[in-house]
Chains A and B, each alone.
Chain A
Amino acid sequence: MKQLQIGSLKFELKKILLPILYFTICLLATLNILTLFYKIIFLVYAFAIYFFVFQVVLKGKFSFEKYKRTENSKKKFYIALIILAIIIFSVIHVLPFIHHGDAALGYDTGFYLKYFDKDVFPSKDAFTVSASPFYYLGLSSQTAFYFTLALGQFLILASVYFLIRSTSIFSSFKIACVAIFLLSVSAIQFYSFWWAIGQQIMATGFLIITIALLLKRSWLMLLTAALTMFLHTSTFLVLALTFILYFTIYLTWSLIKKQKVDKKLILFIVLGLIVCAFVFYFQYDKISGQFEFLVQYKGLLKNVPDWNMAKATGFFIDINSFRSITIYLMPWVVIGIYISLLWQRENRKKSLMDNHFYLIFSTLCLFLTITVLPIIYQSRNIVYLNIFMIIFASIAMFVVVEYLIKEKTGKILLLILLLIFAGRIAYASWTKQPLITENELNEIKSIENIANENAVIMATNSSYAPWLFGFSNQQYIISPGYLRDTWGLEKWIQFWYGSSDETRYDMLLKRAKNLYIFMGAMENTYAPYYQYISTDDHFIQISDHVWKFQP
């Protein structure tokens, strides 16, 4: 055992390094998101967990044999946990609709709904095609969309279960059950559902299952990887990065250890590239459009103008919100990493591809890097990172759960903890407000009753673009920077804030004669354009938020 000597005191290096590393990471996790008071509370929480796990539960030493011996005991509890997780999962995905009705979800809902419309369904897009069986089974387009969205999230649970069970870690069944529970109560996963990032949700499940199938060296990974590429290009890029990382580490490891390279893996690389080329051929139009966007800003957020920042970051929660929401997990993640790597070191296999937790840990590092770096679609990487954080957190939590379920008091404590987790996510699901009010949505829906099919509907705020697109049942929708907009930022600024109402009139006249304008509750009622439209005689107010332009 390596020792460190300071003066007359001798320390075991490992015993000092671990707590120093643990508290440094915990402290770094609080930077810029917590005030001093909350920082202290968090560090006390982190210390309590550290003390409980290492001193009370493990008593300073980790015996994996003990967990191996008790692998088949108390299974009923874990089966109950998984059932509870599925119940919570189902409830939190239904609650927003009970509370807020049709348009309970966030920004992308309207855009997707349009592609589930019977006139364009199924489009050539893989996400809508994946929903086509449910659509043909008799579900309405709206229900089919929401069902597919929830199904996508369910597939993430299934894929994480499959990934953990496919590794050779101790008590993989029990750890997988804890991970499923944590995923079902994860606010980040719920928010990805609320933001309705459908393609990414669906693709994420296939990203994880492809990683799991690679660890199993299964040919099926070619099918799931191809579907990931069809579903969502940026998720596929993340998958490609993961594979590049794996193969680089694997080849370096083989070279250093002077091991033969597995021919099957080389064949996977070759076939994978062929499949990529095949899908690329079919998806060229979609992929090239997304690459153009990346190339335009050289892949970096610093090159993106402010007005396009929301789109460039990926229309999802920002990094600091993510850190605040998941900070309670950090101590568990660090301890989980320590336990899993310790276990992997004791159970080291000859081939790197069989040392699953080295690879899963490197995946976590990769996802952390792409989440922290200011690159295009940065916020969307939060979803992947959160899943891999939960995988490691579940290992540490499993150790505590095993300790607590031995005695009655522990069981009660555990039940309270489970209820807190469930209550927290149920509350978040119930109180998450939609981006549009019920009245606004009804007005948008009733536009088709007043406007003919050639009418042009214009939103003056891009927040309303998806709702008009998805619910108005009209073809010609214009919104700042979206859909059939041809103005560009300069003209919009002139329209919003310019001093001349005559210019505004000319601009609208050139746009269309049969024009309806939607100005929702989010607009600035003191802005010049709002004052002009709401008071000028050239506009007739049809309802609270809809005006008809009368040239």
Chain B
Amino acid sequence: MKSSINKVYQKLIYSVVIVFIIFVLTVNILIYWIDFSTAMSIVFGGFMVMFVPGFFLSIAVYPKFKNKGKKKKRFLSIDKRLALTPMLSIALITFLSVVFRRLEIAIFSEKIFFIYITLICFGCILAGGARYYFNNKI
């Protein structure tokens, strides 16, 4: 049991390292093309918008990375999770934004919108983190 959890950790660490390398490389490339602050906001903002909420929401629903029990299939392998991640992120942010927009709730100024996205990200991280913690008994 312990070794399989270690493997999951290992995969997670690898994924984070890969994402970090891609992140740094992309920022470097963009700095040469556009100015630094725009490059940072595009890459970091894109990461916040398209990766964080969906990834942690997927963990909140499917806390396990591998199939460990026959009865409850609450697992999702890393490749499927990564395919689902951008879709869930966009679904969550767009769905809530459209509802707010229809209710005439003013979140559509640049600053408030990013505070709102940051709150969604934090909410998902907390929900996903808590579910992962209790299901994998770290």
Contact = CB atoms under 8 A, between A and B. Distances in A.
Contact of A124 (B38, B88, B92, B102): B102
Interface in A155-189: 155, 158-159, 161-162, 165-166, 173
Interface residues of B, number: 34
Interface in B33-52: 38, 41-42, 45-46, 49
Contacts of B42: 137-139
A227 B91 contact: yes
Interface in A189-211: 205-206, 209
Nearest to B97: A129
Contacts, number: 96
A224 interface: yes
Interface of A is mostly: helix
A155 B97 contact: no
A441 B95 CA distance: 35
Interface stretch (A89-97, A215-223, A318-326, A477-485): A215-223
B86 A155 contact: yes
Contacts of B38: 137-138
Contacts of B45: 133, 136-137
Which of A126, A132, A209, A226 has the most C-beta atoms of chain B within 10 angstroms of its own C-beta?
A132
Which of B45, B62, B87 has the most C-beta atoms of chain A within 10 angstroms of its own C-beta?
B87
Interface residues of A, number: 35
Contacts of B102: 124, 282
Contact of B97 (A132, A224, A231): A132
A476 B26 CA distance: 42
Given A155-B86, A155-B90, A161-B83, A132 B108 contact: yes
A133 B91 contact: no
Contacts of B57: 220
Nearest to A223: B91
Contacts of B95: 223, 226-227, 230
B80 A162 contact: yes
Contact of A122 (B61, B77, B108): B108
B84 interface: yes
B126 interface: no
19 contacts: A122-B97, A129-B94, A130-B90, A133-B46, A133-B49, A134-B49, A137-B41, A138-B38, A158-B84, A161-B79, A161-B83, A162-B83, A220-B57, A223-B91, A223-B92, A224-B91, A227-B90, A227-B91, A282-B98
Interface of B: 38, 41-42, 45-46, 49, 57-58, 61-62, 77, 79-80, 83-84, 86-88, 90-95, 97-99, 101-102, 108, 110, 113-114, 117
Given A159-B87, A227-B95, A230-B95, 4 more contacts: A161-B83, A218-B62, A220-B61, A282-B98
